[in-house]
Amino acid sequence: MTTHPRALPYRCVIFDLDGTLLDTRAAMMDALNGLLVELGRPPVTVELLLSTMHHGLGAMLNTALDETGRLPTQVMQRQLESLLRHRYLHTAATAVRRYAGTRALLDALQTHSVWMAICSNQDEHSVRTLLELFGLRDYFREVVGGDTFVARKPDPMPLRWLMTAARSSPENTVLVGDSA
């Protein structure tokens, strides 16, 4: 007897990346604390950054710099953010982990012809790099990073853009993430 997959109630699934498909917390913290130590500042704890982790490396860096001393100029802060991103991506292959079941879930959704995308607050280049590194890029029709548009999550603009690209509506779309 052949069974047919049951139709899903949504046609579009938008995933966050960090803490949802990939466990990036330790890699982000290692890269950030390594940079802080190089700058002669003390390392920070995960607890200090819990409220900013969902806003990307730039927000984490800003909070850490503010907590450990004076904030640098905006130009210096952008340079530090670029250095942090490079350091993070350099160690991602060994420090980032794909959650168990990720590929099985994506395969199942693909079998159901679900339109899938990523909406992350990491910069788009980093998101694309991580997806390629972990063999996940081909699952996603669109990738939106924190720097793709002028607005970023939790602003609804990137999600609305993705729903438009998917020709979907809020009633037919689900956002999968690890934060409010």
Instruction: Report CA torsion sign: 68, 73, 77, 80.
Output: negative
User: How far is 157 from 37, CA to CA, in rounded Å?
Assistant: 37
Using only the alpha carbons of the chain, give its radius of gyration: 18
Catalytic: 107?
Answer: no
Among residues 16, 23, 30, 178, the one annotated as catalytic is 16
Within 10 angstroms of residue 26's Cβ, the number of other Cβ atoms is: 13
- Reported in sequence order, the residue ranges of the chain that DSSP labels E, i.e. its strands, are 12-15, 22-23, 97-98, 115-119, 142-144, 173-176
Q: At what angle do helices 25-38 and 74-95 cross, to 10 degrees?
A: 130
Catalytic residue numbers, as ranges: 16
